[in-house]
Amino acid sequence: MASIGLKMVYVGIKDNDGSTVVDADKGVSTTGVYPIDTNKDHQNLGTKTANITALSGSPVKITGNNEVVDVTNPPSSPQVAFDMNAINPQVREKILGRKSNGEGGYVDSDKPVDCGVIIESQQPVTMKSVYFCFGRGNFNETTHNIGTDTDTAETRDDDTLTFTSLGYDGFGGKPFAIYYESDPNFNKQKMMDRVFPGQKLVTADHDGTADASLHGGTVEAPHGSSDAGASGSNKADTQGNI
């Protein structure tokens, strides 16, 4: 479908029973869902692109007696290639399934953790939100290209992660669902509950996706970097969640 822009990406870690880990230490936040926002105090700089592929399988024609007699409809196997300016490092390592060694380092675990993901964009005509939802899948990272700064420019290496979606019971065994804010039956809390069972970011009393704290920040970056916030000292917290 047509869309405009990328408003937000939400991630959460799943427990073995499929519920969302609502814990700042074991999961990504006290609400179970972590918005990858643009608040520099949270050590986030938002997402550039989320390139979704393989939303549909490739039909294959079946021939017999010199004619096409059937068409197979293979299941979809979506992947999302994320190019993020920067993610809070602790959250990043957690969704990659890496474990803290208690010394500031993180090492790969024996198997990846299951995560849920929601990518929020907008419809071109109504400018209402559209949500690409993946209830279960795994993140991985394959490369880092680290380069030197020069006397005239800084060299950045983004957080480039790939999310591989898996079949999800909440979607009837399918790997994704698309939600439209413009649909008369749309309910944001129900959508969040479907993708992140047990989450507390969006409740009947509070919509955490509308918090002003998801934007701005006051971290001052070194060397005159454009990451510098409006003012203040280095406040490297993470929405107070991890």
% of the chain residues with pLDDT over 90: 77
Residue 9: band (very low, low, confident or very high) from pLDDT cuts 50, 70, 90: very high
Distant-in-sequence, close-in-space partners of 94: CB < 8 Å, separation ≥ 6: 13, 27, 28, 113, 242
β-partners of residue 72 are 60
What number is the average pLDDT over the span 154-159?
91
> Is 59 a member of any domain?
no
Asked if residues 175 and 24 have their Cβ atoms less than 8 Å apart, the reply is no
Domain that holds residue 213: 4-54+76-146+158-224
pLDDT of residue 240: 52
pLDDT band at 190 (very low <50, low <70, confident <90, very high): very high
14 in a structural domain = yes
Is 108 in contact with 139 (CB distance < 8 Å)?
no
Q: How far apart (Å, rounded) are the C-alpha atoms in residues 11 and 118?
A: 7
Q: What is the mean pLDDT of residues 74-97?
A: 94
pLDDT for residue 5:
96
Indicate the pTM of the whole model: 0.87
Decide if 60 is inside a domain: no
Q: Quick count: other Cβ atoms within 10 Å of Cβ 216? A: 14
* Angle at alpha carbon of residue 41, lines to 218 and 46, rounded to 5°: 110
Query: How many domains does the chain contain in total?
Result: 1
Q: What is the pLDDT of residue 235?
A: 41
The percentage of residues in the chain with a pLDDT greater than 70, rounded to a whole number, is 89
Please state, in angstroms and rounded to a whole number, the distance separating the CA atoms of residues 139 and 132. 16
Query: Is 68 within the bounds of a domain?
Result: no
Which residues, 6+ apart, have CB-to-CB distance to 75 below 8 Å?
Answer: 57, 174, 175
Using DSSP, state whether 105 is helix, strand or coil: coil
The verdict on residue 139 lying in a domain is yes
pLDDT average, residue stretch 164-173: 96
DSSP classification of residue 224: G
- Residue 85 domain-assigned? yes
Helices (H) and strands (E) in the chain, counts: 2, 12
Structural domain includes residue 137: yes
Task: Identify each DSSP E strand in 78-194 by its residue range.
Answer: 79-84, 98-100, 106-108, 115-122, 129-140, 159-165, 177-180
Residue 94 lies in a domain: yes
Mean pLDDT for 144-170 is 93
